Each structure stands twice: as C-alpha cells, then as structure tokens.
A and B are shown apart, each in its own frame.
Chain A
Amino acid sequence: GESVGLHLPTLSVQEGDNSIINCAYSNSASDYFIWYKQESGKGPQFIIDIRSNMDKRQGQRVTVLLNKTVKHLSLQIAATQPGDSAVYFCAEERGSQGNLIFGKGTKLSVKP
C-alpha cells in the first residue's frame, strides 16, 4: 500500500558535521510534508514543513528539500549538535482534515 518511508533507520554523525535524513513517499498527490523531531518519551516537535509547490525551504540550521519527480524528501541539519540527537520522522498530510501519515523514523546520534 501507499506509505511514507525512510531509507536509513540510524544515522551517527560527529558534532559539527552536517546531517542528511532521507524520506521516500509514494502518494504523488500529496502536497504538504512535515519533519518532526521526537526525543525519548516525548511527543513530536515540529521542525519544518514544505508544500509541493516548493522544492526547498530553509529554517534555522535546517533545510528541507523536496524532489517531486522521484517522490523524495530530505532534511538537512547544519553543524549538528548533541542536542539534535533524537528520532526524526517525515510526515505526509492526507485527507481534508489534515491526517498525517508518518514515516518509520531515523534515529540520529551525535558524537561529541
């Protein structure tokens, strides 16, 4: 069935390096995507979002890239810090009420 998935379950980076987390989606009709950060035992925290009429959006230290041709989404974190260690989920909005379909998640570990 259609789903939003992540390529890598874990990612380990050195503090100060850039991180790239990838996500593939299968519903070409989706027009709104969000990246969330979830720390252990907590609810998801909004990081950045992007609509399908854009291919890039930047925030503070984070950039989301959207490639509609191959249905691929990525989250780039610049100068990764230990506080960035968490599980990152991409989510795809479906339906008129804004239902979110979450990907499997990537655990990011930042080594000091």
Chain B
Amino acid sequence: GAVVSQHPSWVICKSGTSVKIECRSLDFQATTMFWYRQFPKQSLMLMATSNEGSKATYEQGVEKDKFLINHASLTLSTLTVTSAHPEDSSFYICSARVAGGPQEQYFGPGTRLTVT
C-alpha cells in the first residue's frame, strides 16, 4: 500500500513551453502533497506544499507564477512548469501524506525534466 505515482517519468520540452507533471496517490487519500526539486548530485529541495482544495504554500525563492500547483482532489496534485527554461531542467519529485494518518511521507518515483 501507500503507492505514489508520477507522470510522465521523463519529459523533454523546448524552451518557452509549459509542462505539466502529475502526482497521484494510488491507494490512499492525501490531503497534503509536497513537491521537491533535485539537481544532479544534490539534495531534495522543497518547492511547495499542496493542500487539497486550497492554494499551495511556496517556499522562499520559488516563483508561484512559474510553478503552478493544483491539488483538485484527494488523490491528484499537478505541477505545471510555465515558460520553461534550460535552468528548470531537474528531477521533480512529489510526496504525499495519508489523510488523518501518521507523519510518514510517501514519495513518487520522480519526473526528469529536460528543457532544450
């Protein structure tokens, strides 16, 4: 149980275009989902906290108009990278907490974004 999926697993897009990444909790409901970014050989950096039915909370330095987060249901959160640039190329990972459950976060497999 407690499986989180991401789609797509990898994507290549041209500079200036937008890309949407989906994060789904497959066998549980998640009121809170988190989005992280990880550059090569670096740690995970929290980008934003996504709560179902409300606006996401962004970490300092993360542009909310560039990284649009929507958490429309208890099993789905989406991250849209708008007007992507090569410096946005990274590994994007989501995690989810079980609604009303323990503190443990379950991580998705990640999405590799390459902007050319």
Interface set of A (CB-CB < 8 Å, partner B): 32, 34, 36, 41-46, 49, 89, 93, 97-105
Q: In whole Å, how far is A39's beta carbon from the nearest beta carbon of chain B? A: 10
Cβ–Cβ < 8 Å partners of A46 in chain B: 104-107
- Pairs across A and B, CB under 8 Å, 26 listed: A32-B103, A34-B104, A41-B91, A42-B109, A43-B4, A43-B107, A43-B108, A43-B110, A44-B44, A44-B93, A45-B107, A46-B104, A46-B105, A46-B107, A49-B103, A89-B44, A93-B103, A97-B51, A98-B32, A98-B34, A98-B103, A100-B44, A100-B46, A100-B105, A102-B43, A104-B43
Q: In whole Å, how far is A88's beta carbon from the nearest beta carbon of chain B? A: 11
Cβ–Cβ < 8 Å partners of B107 in chain A: 36, 43-46
- Residue pair A98, B110 in contact (C-beta under 8 Å): no
- Residue pair A97, B49 in contact (C-beta under 8 Å): yes
Nearest B residue (CB) for A42:
B109
B97 close to chain A: CB less than 8 A:
yes
- In the bound complex, CA of A44 to CA of B32 (Å): 18
B112 close to chain A: CB less than 8 A:
yes
- In the bound complex, CA of A102 to CA of B107 (Å): 13
- Residue pair B46, A99 in contact (C-beta under 8 Å): yes
Interface set of B (CB-CB < 8 Å, partner A): 4, 6, 32, 34, 42-46, 49, 51, 57, 91, 93, 95, 97, 103-110, 112
- In the bound complex, CA of A74 to CA of B109 (Å): 25
7 shortest interchain CB distances as A-B pairs: A43-B107, A102-B43, A102-B44, A44-B107, A43-B110, A43-B109, A43-B93
Contact for B105 among A42, A89, A98, CB less than 8 A:
A98
- In the bound complex, CA of A45 to CA of B2 (Å): 12
Cβ–Cβ < 8 Å partners of A34 in chain B: 104
Given contacts A43-B93, A97-B32, A98-B97, contact A103 B109 (CB under 8 A): no
Cβ–Cβ < 8 Å partners of B32 in chain A: 97-98
14 new A-B contacts at CB < 8 Å, known A97-B51, A99-B49: A34-B104, A41-B112, A42-B110, A43-B108, A43-B109, A44-B95, A45-B107, A46-B106, A46-B107, A98-B97, A98-B105, A99-B34, A104-B42, A105-B43
